């Protein structure tokens, strides 16, 4: 049995029965059958389904946003934006998938040759709770457009969202079985990965879980895309626009209640501007309104689970014990729900807990650096490599810095974010493979060489 808990109150929202082994088997059989037919449909037909799903998301956006907020706690305005971003991504692949999948002919006088892109089959998607709609649809839009089927194993604390995305796609006219959400325990995932009816696996989650899934999929020689943890650096150089940088810093650190892999987490600030940066950052973070995420005025809600809040506070405590100072926040909120206030820690050293570990919640870690060179060094002094932001008025200098940052994405004078037109993913312990753009669509296809010689 799966229970949905409202993290703002700690109260139960509902209970959902787990799928039985027989139900799982039926879903896998249905996915295989649906995909065999789906792969033969034209890109135009697939695009029509994606557009229909996007329309249903927009028509029911308020209901879906409320379900997101109730189950995982993000402010309702952010939940609405998540639903819309999912719809935008579906529209993007509806518009572009045919071109992305087109046969690429290679000029040759001796043959008719080239490259075709063909679907793999049913793809298992293991998804997290922090963006329960977006994380799924950013995988599903390109995967379905390419002719695959999707089996969703969602996070245990968002069962309502898991069942909703299946219903939305089914109600939009998808073939029976093309997309299924399975409410199963994590212990059952290994069996799914091993099952011959699953062709490939995608995971968004922690690095620890990524290693497990990679090992399981690797043993069965199945393609994987892993989007894992991150400890993104936010470099503030001496000539940065501090008003702009701190405004974006607040959004970049505290969006989704600080529970995003691409939240800025380590703020590396050149010493000569550090005092002013901290002053402005703290002033703007203090203006965030902590409270009921269903209230329109709320800008930061609770953490998704009690154990996440407890783990975050332990990281704060150990970082302070290591010499950091608390500028803002730093203590859990008494009362119902899993609230933790916006927290800023200054003078965090390179061996401090908030520097070396990913902090998945509303805690910003500030490390003061001598100059640009030390900022770059410390930006790369992490096991992660997802995103990074660089703030400077010198764009030529920024262009020289970008290739030196070990990350899947570097944003200059802006907030790291995903965009359907651009590839998304990391390096090092942040995973491998890419989502979104043409690269994301081609992760779950057979890139087939075709050579046709003259008839003899």
- What is residue 146's predicted lDDT score, i.e. its pLDDT? 98
User: Is the pLDDT reported for residue 188 higher than 90?
Assistant: yes
- What is residue 456's predicted lDDT score, i.e. its pLDDT? 74
Q: What is the mean pLDDT of the chain?
A: 97
Please, are residues 111 and 22 in contact by the beta-carbon 8 Å criterion? no
- Residues in Cβ contact with 200 at an 8 Å cutoff, skipping those fewer than 6 apart: 120, 121, 123, 124, 217, 222, 223, 224, 225, 444
Please, are residues 165 and 63 in contact by the beta-carbon 8 Å criterion? no
Residue 416 CB neighbours (<10 A): 25
User: Is the pLDDT reported for residue 111 higher than 90?
Assistant: no
Mapping DSSP onto H, E and C, the string for 300-355 reads: ECCCCCHHHHHHHHHHHHHHHHCCCEEEECCCCCCCCCCCCCCEEEECCCCCCHHH
Split at pLDDT 50, 70, 90, the class of 455 is: confident
Top-level class of domain 232-419: alpha beta
Helix (H) or strand (E) holding 110: none
Q: Is 227 a catalytic residue?
A: yes
Taken in order 388, 389, 395, 401, the sign of the CA dihedral is: negative
Split at pLDDT 50, 70, 90, the class of 249 is: very high
Please, are residues 339 and 303 in contact by the beta-carbon 8 Å criterion? yes
Q: What is the pLDDT of residues 374-391, one digit of tens each?
A: 999 999 999 999 999 999
> In the 8-state DSSP scheme, what is residue 369?
E
Place of tokens 């490390």: 367
Please, are residues 418 and 197 in contact by the beta-carbon 8 Å criterion? no
Answer whether 2-228+430-452 and 232-419 agree in fold: no
User: Is the pLDDT reported for residue 110 higher than 80?
Assistant: no
Helix (H) or strand (E) holding 105: strand 104-106
Per-residue pLDDT, averaged over 96-112, amounts to 90
The Cα-based distances of 393 to 242, 306, 387 in angstroms read 10, 42, 20
**264-270 and 384-385 strand pairing:** unpaired
Split at pLDDT 50, 70, 90, the class of 208 is: very high
Q: What is the pLDDT of residues 335-359, one digit of tens each?
A: 999 999 999 999 999 999 999 999 9
What residues does each domain of the chain span? 2-228+430-452, 232-419
Q: Token pair for residue 335?
A: 């009362």
Q: What is the pLDDT of residues 292-332, one digit of tens each?
A: 999 999 999 999 999 999 999 999 999 999 999 999 999 99
Q: Which of 71, 166, 227, 435 is catalytic?
A: 227
Name the percent of the chain lying above pLDDT 70: 100
Q: Is 161 a catalytic residue?
A: no
Q: Which of 71, 78, 82, 261 is catalytic?
A: 261
Top-level class of domain 2-228+430-452: alpha beta
Please, are residues 378 and 268 in contact by the beta-carbon 8 Å criterion? yes
- What is residue 454's predicted lDDT score, i.e. its pLDDT? 84
- What is residue 107's predicted lDDT score, i.e. its pLDDT? 83
> In the 8-state DSSP scheme, what is residue 424?
B
Query: For the residues of 198-226, what is the DSSP string, one character each?
Result: --EEEEES-HHHHHHHHHHHHHTT-EEEE
Q: Token pair for residue 224?
A: 């994987």
- What is residue 390's predicted lDDT score, i.e. its pLDDT? 99
Q: What is the pLDDT of residues 415-429, one digit of tens each?
A: 999 999 999 999 999
Name the percent of the chain lying above pLDDT 90: 97
Residues counted in the chain: 456
């Amino acid at each position: 049995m799966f229970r949905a808990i409202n993290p703002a109150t700690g109260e139960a929202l509902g209970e959902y029965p787990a799928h039985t082994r027989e139900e799982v088997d039926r879903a896998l059989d249905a996915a295989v059958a649906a995909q065999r037919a789906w792969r033969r449909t034209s890109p135009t037909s697939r695009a029509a389904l994606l557009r229909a799903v996007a329309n249903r998301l927009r028509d029911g956006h308020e209901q879906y946003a409320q379900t997101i907020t109730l189950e995982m706690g993000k402010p309702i305005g952010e939940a609405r934006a998540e639903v819309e971003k999912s719809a935008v991504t579906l529209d993007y692949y509806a518009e572009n998938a045919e071109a992305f999948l087109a046969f690429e002919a290679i000029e040759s006088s001796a043959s008719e040759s080239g490259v075709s892109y063909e679907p793999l089959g049913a793809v298992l998607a293991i998804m997290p709770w922090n963006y329960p709609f977006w994380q799924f649809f950013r995988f599903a839009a390109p995967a379905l457009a390419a002719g695959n089927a999707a089996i969703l194993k969602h996070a245990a604390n968002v069962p309502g969202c898991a069942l909703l995305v299946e219903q939305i796609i089914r109600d939009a006219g998808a073939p029976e079985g093309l997309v299924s959400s399975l409410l199963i325990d994590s212990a059952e995932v290994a069996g799914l990965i091993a099952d011959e009816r699953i062709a490939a696996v995608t995971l968004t989650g922690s690095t620890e879980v990524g290693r497990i899934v990679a090992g399981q999929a690797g043993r069965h020689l199945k393609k994987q895309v892993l989007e894992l943890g991150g400890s993104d650096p936010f470099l503030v150089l001496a000539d940065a626009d501090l008003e702009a940088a701190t405004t974006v810093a607040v959004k970049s650190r505290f969006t989704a209640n600080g529970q995003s892999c691409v939240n800025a987490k380590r703020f590396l600030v050149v010493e000569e501007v550090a005092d002013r940066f901290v002053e402005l950052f703290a002033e703007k973070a203090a203006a965030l309104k902590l409270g009921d995420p269903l209230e329109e005025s709320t800008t930061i809600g609770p953490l998704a689970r009690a154990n996440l809040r407890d783990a975050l506070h332990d990281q704060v405590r150990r970082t302070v014990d290591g010499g950091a100072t608390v500028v803002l926040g730093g203590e859990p909120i008494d009362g119902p729900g899993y609230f933790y206030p916006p927290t800023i820690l200054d003078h965090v050293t390179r061996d401090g807990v908030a520097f070396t570990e990913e902090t998945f919640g509303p805690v910003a870690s500030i490390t003061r650096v001598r100059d640009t060179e030390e900022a770059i060094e410390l930006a790369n002094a992490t096991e992660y490599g997802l995103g990074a932001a660089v703030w400077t008025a010198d764009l030529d200098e920024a262009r020289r810095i970008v290739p030196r940052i070990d990350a899947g994405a570097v944003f200059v004078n802006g907030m790291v974010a995903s965009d359907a037109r651009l590839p998304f993913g990391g390096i090092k312990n942040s995973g491998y493979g890419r989502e979104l753009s043409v690269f994301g669509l081609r992760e779950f296809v057979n890139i087939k060489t075709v050579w046709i010689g003259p008839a003899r």
